Structure 1
Amino acid sequence: MDNGTVAVVGAGPGGLAAAMLLAGGGYRVTVYEKQPQAGGRTSRLELGPFRFDKGPTFLMMPHLLEELFAAVDRSLHDYVELIELDPLYRLQFGELHFEPSRDPARTRELIERHFPGNGAGYLRFMRDEEAKFRRVSPLLQRPFASPRDYIARDVFAALPRLHATDTVYGRLSRYFTDERLKYAFTFQAKYLGMSPWECPGTFTMLSYLEHRYGLFHPIGGVNRVCEAMAQVVGEYGGEVRTATPVRRVLVRDGRACGVELEGGERVAADHVVLNADFATAMNELFEPGQLRKYTPERLAAKKYSCSTCMLYLGLDMEVDMPHHTILFAEDYRRNVEEMMRGRRLSDDPSIYVHNPGRTDPTLAPPGQTALYALMPVPNLEAEIDWREEGERVRARMLARLEREPGLRGLASRIVREAMITPLGWRDDHGVYRGATFNLAHSLDQMMMLRPHNRFQEAANCWLVGGGTHPGSGLPTIFESARISVRLLMEQDRRAARRAGAARRSAASGPHGKGAV
C-alpha cells in the first residue's frame, strides 16, 4: 500500500509518533533530524560510560503509548521495559520528606501523618479530578480549528469542569490547608513552564494523573521510547535521517510540497509534518515574508515558558536517594515569583534531582552514578548573561545538592559532567528563547488559540509537538501526533473519494451511457 510521501521535520517524540503512525498506515515516511541522535529534547546524552535522559525523565499514562504502538500492530512492551515507581517521588520541605504513591489509602495515611486534617481533602480532590478528567480528556483528543469546534456536546459537558478562570494554586487551596501540601500538588505546573499562581486551574489534572496512573521508568531512560518508535518506522520501510538539518519547508501555490536540506538537496513530499520547536520553525524554516499569522513580531509577542539549567553528573560514588527528589526552596512562592515575574535568578532555588540508578543499573558502571539535576530559571527574555552566570549557577546548584546527606562530597566525586543553560537550549537545540517547555499554557494560548494541528499558513503542512494543540508534556505531545495524523489521513481519503467519483463520472460520458 502506498498512500504517498511524508517529510517529518524533527525526530522528537511528536515527530516520531506521527512518523510511526503514518508509516504503519502505508505512507512513505522520512524523518529529518538535525541532531546526531533521535529524540530531540527526549534524546539520550552519553558522557563516557554514563547515560542520561537529556529532558523528560519519566513516563505518565503509558496506556497512551500502548495505544500508539497497537495502532500499527506492535506492542510497546516488545521494545521497552517499564518499571513503575513506588513511591512516585520524594518531596522535601526542609526536614519534612513526603513520599506519596498511587495507593490512595497509603497516601491519605501519609498526608494525615505529615499534614494532619488534610486527608479528607486529598480524597475529595482525587474524586473531583477524576470526574473532571473524564469530561476534559475528549477535548485533548481532537482538534480545535474554528469557533464551530466549541459547539459540541463534549465541550459543553467539560466547560463547568475546566476551572480555566481559576489558578492551579487557587484550586488546590479548596482542598488543602497546609501550604507545603498545596505545593506538593501544584509543582506540576512547572511541567508546563508556568507558575501555579498563574497557570489555569484546568491543569490540576496533572497531579491527579500522577497519583491516579503512576509514574514509570523505561529501562535505559525515556529516550528508549523515541528509539523504539524510530525502530518501528524503519520496520515499515520509513527512514530516520539524523544529523540532517532542514533549511526550508518548500511551499508552492499555498501548499507545502517538500523540504530543502541544509546541504541544498530538495526533497518532494505530499505532506510535511513539523515537529521542530514551534517559534524557531516559524522564524527559520519558511521564506521571509511567507507567513502572515506567525511573523517574527507576532511570535515575539507570545508568552513562553520558563527555561531550565541542567547538570548531568557522572559520579564515582553511589547515591542513596530516591529515583525522583524535589528540593523545594525555603520560600517556594518567592522563588517562583522571582523567576517568573521578576525574571531573575533566585538565591533560594528549587532543584529536581533524578537518580535513576536507584531503579536502573544500565546507566552507569557498578559503584558509580549518573545523576541529573534541574533548576528552573527564567527564559532568555530575562537580562541574564549566561556566559557569566552559568558557572555561578552551577556552583549554587552543587552547593545545594551537597547539603543532602546522600550527596555530601559530591563536587569532588564528579568524573564526567555536562551543563545546559537557556543559552545552550537556544543555540545548540533550537529552542526559541530557551523556553524549554515551549509556548505557555495561558488562556489566550489554549485550544483554538494555540497553533492548529492543521497548519493555517500552508496546506498539507501539519504541526505536532508541544507548540500545537493540545500542548506540552509527553502525553499531550503524543495526542498531538494522533490528532494531526488523523486529520492528514482523513483529508487524503476525502481527496481519493473525490478523484474516484470524478473518474467514474468521466468514464460514464455526458449521458451516463459510457464514452463513445
Structure 2
Amino acid sequence: MSNSMMRKTQKIVIVGAGPGGLAAAILLAKSGVEVMVVEKRATVGGRTSTIEREGFKFDTGPTFFLYPRVLREIFAAAGRNLDAEVPMERLDPQYRLVFGSGGELLATPDLQRMEQAIAALCPRDAAGFHRFFMDNRNKLDRFLPFLENPFDSWRDLAKLQMLKMLPTLRPWSSLDTDLRRYFSDERIRLGFSFQSKYLGMSPFTCPSLFSILSFLEYEHGVFHPIGGCGAVTLAMARVAQDLGVKILLEEPVESMIFDGRKATGVKTASRTLKADAVVVNADFAEAMRRMVPNQLRRKWTNERIASKRFSCSTFMMYLGIEGIYKDVAHHTIYLSKNYEQNLRDIEKDHVLSNDPSFYVQNACVTDPSLAPRGSSALYILAPVSHQTPNIDWPEQQLAFRKTVLAQLSKVGIEGVEERIRFEKIITPKDWQLDYGLHQGATFSMAHNLRQMLHLRPHNRFEDLDRVYLVGGGTHPGSGLPVIFESARITSRLLLEDLNVQPRWAEQATLQPAPMYEAAS
C-alpha cells in the first residue's frame, strides 16, 4: 500500500479541545490523517475559552498571549496567518506592579523607559536590567532546541550540548537566587520573578531556568487578542475544521479502549470511537485515573500520581461592572507586603492569606467589545492552595470573596461591589469538579527539578502503546507557548510511529513578524 493510501486510513482521536489538542489536530490533519476531537464541554478551548454572560465576555483562564512565534508557525503550516485570523494588540505598558511593601513599577517593553522605571525604585539596580536582558537572550537561544524536542530519559540530559549549558542554566539556583546577581531590591526581583506563578510556583523554589519567562515578555511582547484569548482557540478550531477535523462537543470520554496495552480508541456514553492512536489533552492525572485502569499503568500508577507535587490553584472572580475604570491598567498585579509568607500560605501551610496577592485584568481599556457600552469586564485572580482539607470552599468562599474585594483598593480600584451587575466565582473545588483538574491544580504538576524534562509524563506516553500526551502535564510544561510546542513534539512522534511524513515542516512558510515584535 502506498504511503498516501496509508495516510487516508489512519484515524486519530484527541481527547480534549484545549489549545494543545487543537494545535495537534491542525498538525495531524495537515499531514493527511483523519482526526476527531472529543470534548466534554459545550465549547472548544478548555480553560482558554470565553465566559459570555449578559453582554460581558471574560477569558476563563489565560488572559494574555505571550511569544506568538510558535502558534504563528502552526498557523503557517496550515496555510493561514495568525495575525489575520486573530488581530492582537501589543500592550505598553505590559502591566502595572503594585508592591504591598511600597512603590510600584510600570513594566514597559521600551527598554530605556524600563531602566528608568527600575531606577526610580532602586537606582543601583537599573544597570542590572541590561545584563539580565542579554544573559537571558543567550539562555533562551541555547535552551530553545531542548524545549522543542522530546525528553525520554536521563540520557537526554547527559548529552554534551546539555552539559555545556549547565553554567548558563544554573539548575542549582532558585529563580530568586539567580536574580540576585542582577537586582538587590526585592521588589525589582519580584517584578522579574512573579511570572513563576504562570507555572503555579514560588520564585524562591522555582528553578532559575524560568527567568526566561519575564525575558520573553520584554523581548517578544505581551499581547491582547481582540475578543480575548478565547478568540485564539475559536480560530484554531476553525482552521482545524477547514482541514477536515471533526469536533464532538458535550461528549465526555468515559474510558480508553485497549488491546493489551495498545490503545485502539475511546468510549463515550453514546458511542465507541476506534482509532490508530489516542492523544490525551485532558488534565493528565485526572484523565489517567478516570480513563485507564490502574493495572495497565506500570510507571504512572494512581499511587505514583498521588506522590507528586501539584501546583497551586486560583480563586477567580469574573465581574461585570457598571461604569468604566479608565485609569486602571489593562493588567495590574498586587504583590503582598510579605510575599514569602503569602506563598508559604499557598504552598506549604495550605491556608488562605489575610493579605493575598492578586491580579486584575481590566481589558476593556484596550478592547471595549468585552462589555456592554459604558460597562467593564473585570477578571480577578488570587493564587490559592490547590484542594486541601484545610480549606472548606463552600464554607469559606464568601469570606474570601470579601477579602479579595477589599484588596482592590490597594491598586486604586474603588467602589466595585455596588457596581457589580454580573458575577461568577470559580474556586479550586470548581476547577476540580467542573474542569477535571486534579486537586484543582490549575498548572498541573509543579515544575520543580524532579518533575521536569524526562521526569514529566512523556509526550509519547511511556506506560501505554499508541497513547500520546499534549498540554501542561507533559514536556515542556505549562503556559500557552510551551503547550503549543508540546503539540508539535507529540505530533511528530505520533506520525513517526504511524510511518507518516509530517507535511508542515517543509510547507510552513512563516510570515514575517509584525514590526512591533522586535525588541525596542
TM-score in same-fold range (> 0.5) = yes
The residue correspondences of 1:201-216 to structure 2 (distance < 5 A) are: 201-216=208-223
Contact 2:495 2:501 in 1 (8 A): no
- SS for the counterpart of 2:227 is coil
* Residue number among 297, 306, 321 corresponding to 2:303 in the alignment: 297
- SS for the counterpart of 1:118 is helix
User: Is 1:412 the counterpart of 2:444 in the alignment?
Assistant: no
Q: Deviations over 1:417-447 (max 9, x none)?
A: 1000000000010000000010000111011
* Residue 371 (structure 1) aligns with: 378
- SS for the counterpart of 1:42 is coil
State the one-letter code of the partner of 1:149: D
* Residue number among 422, 432, 435 corresponding to 1:426 in the alignment: 432
Q: Deviations over 1:181-223 (max 9, x none)?
A: 1111110111110111111111111111111111001000011
* Residue 29 (structure 1) aligns with: 35
Looking at structure 2, the residues matched to 429 and 108 of structure 1 have their Cα atoms a distance apart, in angstroms, of 41
* Residue 107 (structure 1) aligns with: 114
Contact 2:311 2:441 in 1 (8 A): yes
Q: Deviations over 1:248-303 (max 9, x none)?
A: 1111122111100123x111011110000010011101134222212211111001
* Residue 78 (structure 1) aligns with: 84
Looking at structure 2, the residues matched to 188 and 396 of structure 1 have their Cα atoms a distance apart, in angstroms, of 23
Q: 1:424 to 1:160 in 2, by over 3 A?
A: same
Contact 1:426 1:433 in 2 (8 A): yes
- SS for the counterpart of 2:299 is coil
* Residue number among 148, 151, 155 corresponding to 1:148 in the alignment: 155
* Residue number among 139, 146, 162 corresponding to 2:146 in the alignment: 139
Looking at structure 2, the residues matched to 473 and 154 of structure 1 have their Cα atoms a distance apart, in angstroms, of 25
* Residue 508 (structure 2) aligns with: none
Contact 1:170 1:197 in 2 (8 A): yes
1:382 CA drift (Å): 4.9
1:403 CA drift (Å): 4.5
The residue correspondences of 1:109-258 to structure 2 (distance < 5 A) are: 109-258=116-265
Q: CA RMSD in A?
A: 1.5
Contact 1:92 1:98 in 2 (8 A): yes
Percent of aligned positions with the same letter in both sequences?
A: 45
* Residue 461 (structure 2) aligns with: 455
- SS for the counterpart of 1:55 is coil
Contact 1:402 1:410 in 2 (8 A): no
Which one has the largest radius of gyration?
1
State the one-letter code of the partner of 1:476: V
* Residue 340 (structure 1) aligns with: 347
Identify the range of structure 1 (289-298 vs 487-496) with the bigger mean alpha-carbon deviation: 487-496
* Residue 486 (structure 1) aligns with: 492
* Residue 282 (structure 1) aligns with: 288
Looking at structure 2, the residues matched to 92 and 404 of structure 1 have their Cα atoms a distance apart, in angstroms, of 7
Gap runs ≥5 in structure 1: 497-516
* Residue number among 313, 317, 329 corresponding to 1:322 in the alignment: 329
* Residue 93 (structure 2) aligns with: 87
State the one-letter code of the partner of 1:444: R
State the one-letter code of the partner of 2:47: R
State the one-letter code of the partner of 1:57: T
Looking at structure 2, the residues matched to 97 and 71 of structure 1 have their Cα atoms a distance apart, in angstroms, of 42
State the one-letter code of the partner of 2:147: L
Q: Deviations over 1:394-435 (max 9, x none)?
A: 111111114443x32110010101000000000010000000
Identify the range of structure 1 (163-172 vs 86-95) with the bigger mean alpha-carbon deviation: 86-95
State the one-letter code of the partner of 2:12: V
1:384 CA drift (Å): 0.7
- SS for the counterpart of 1:14 is helix
Q: Deviations over 1:84-109 (max 9, x none)?
A: 00011000124522112122111111
* Residue 273 (structure 1) aligns with: 279
Looking at structure 2, the residues matched to 402 and 366 of structure 1 have their Cα atoms a distance apart, in angstroms, of 24
Q: Deviations over 1:461-494 (max 9, x none)?
A: 1000000001011111011000000111122227
Q: Which runs of 4+ in 1 moved over 6 A?
A: none
Gap runs ≥5 in structure 2: 503-520
State the one-letter code of the partner of 1:269: A
Q: Deviations over 1:318-339 (max 9, x none)?
A: 1131100001111112111221
User: Is 1:384 the counterpart of 2:391 in the alignment?
Assistant: yes
- SS for the counterpart of 1:156 is helix
Contact 1:3 1:26 in 2 (8 A): no
The alignment's TM-score, normalised by the length of structure 1, stands at 0.93
Looking at structure 1, the residues matched to 373 and 363 of structure 2 have their Cα atoms a distance apart, in angstroms, of 13
- SS for the counterpart of 2:390 is coil
State the one-letter code of the partner of 2:167: P
1:158 CA drift (Å): 2.5
* Residue 38 (structure 1) aligns with: 44
Looking at structure 2, the residues matched to 494 and 399 of structure 1 have their Cα atoms a distance apart, in angstroms, of 57
State the one-letter code of the partner of 2:207: P
Q: 1:117 to 1:43 in 2, by over 3 A?
A: same
- SS for the counterpart of 1:21 is helix
Looking at structure 1, the residues matched to 449 and 84 of structure 2 have their Cα atoms a distance apart, in angstroms, of 40
Looking at structure 2, the residues matched to 250 and 432 of structure 1 have their Cα atoms a distance apart, in angstroms, of 22
